[in-house]
Structure 1
Amino acid sequence: MELKNGENSYGVISRANHWISAFLFIGLVILGIYMHELDKGPEKTELYALHKSLGIGLFMLMILRLVWLKVSPNPEQLSKTKFEHILGHAVKGILYLAMLILPISGWVMSNSGGHPVAFFDLFTLPTIVGENHDIHEIAEEVHEIGKWMLLIILLHVAGALKHHIVYKDSTLLRMLGRK
């Protein structure tokens, strides 16, 4: 079990980060859509706290992923065409960007709305912006884009399945830690 990525395989750190991030990201989008529709009350407050904590966790995983890519670069994509190669990189790039922008916009949205951002009551992030209605509205709009990221995730999954089912290559198997 290799920790680092190989020329043709993902190491355990990249695979763990990928799958934990994937489930967190999808869960956060679904939780965000659900809690947004709730009436104000204790359940909504608790879900917002959970959403913030999980968002901080995703942000930390994304920072770790970016650092890890410098230490252990990903293996090359198994693309059949130049278009698929570009599309694969674009989809991954958009997902990476979303996993950075969404936690930051959520942090700004909370702070500008007069709310702290805590990680499971273990620590509270510093306030990066004071209470400000205009900034809050902008951050809210940026954060709202998050639910549309499900479409990008579907493209990512569709690409992996196409490689697995149609091309019968090892793209999906590499991320599952199999040969």
Structure 2
Amino acid sequence: MTRPRPLPVDPLAEAKRQWIAHGWTDAADGMAVVTSVMRAQQLLLARVDAALKPFALSFARFEVLRLLAFSRAGRLPLSSVVARLQVHPTTVTSTAERLVRDGLVVREPHPHDGRAALLALTDTGRELVERATRSLNSEVFVDLGMSGDDAAELVAIVARLRKAAGDFADPRPHPEPL
């Protein structure tokens, strides 16, 4: 993938300058944060898409496969996939249907709840997600273009934003071992 030539000025810094010049000073920092995070998401998603393209996987499909591969038995209730990926049930259902169609997962009846279904990783799905993970690790995750300290700080900042939005609660403290 050919990288475009860098712009001579940061357009997001210019947007913030314009926000302030138009009297929206109280909103300028927020606009800059939102716009910066959304642009960073575009840049990262383009890299992820390029790494997953040879595997015919979207990031959503990869996430479901990786989550199933991380589970002890390679299967999870559909409701657990929805909760852990923090997406709408319709999105997971649609993604799961494509994964089933492609032979990467199968639907199984839930052993204790006749109304629920399990998603189970097939051997083909497991092999594919392992290869796709190696690709993402080497082509994207190992070198994001920032230091490890910057990455840790960014994750911490975004985690505080997510927590304040109600995305998660801190885990309960674990008791001291006896």
Higher CA-based Rg: 2
Return the TM-score normalized by structure 1.
0.28
Higher relative contact order (CA 8 A, sep 6+): 1
Higher share in helix: 1
Return the TM-score normalized by structure 2.
0.28
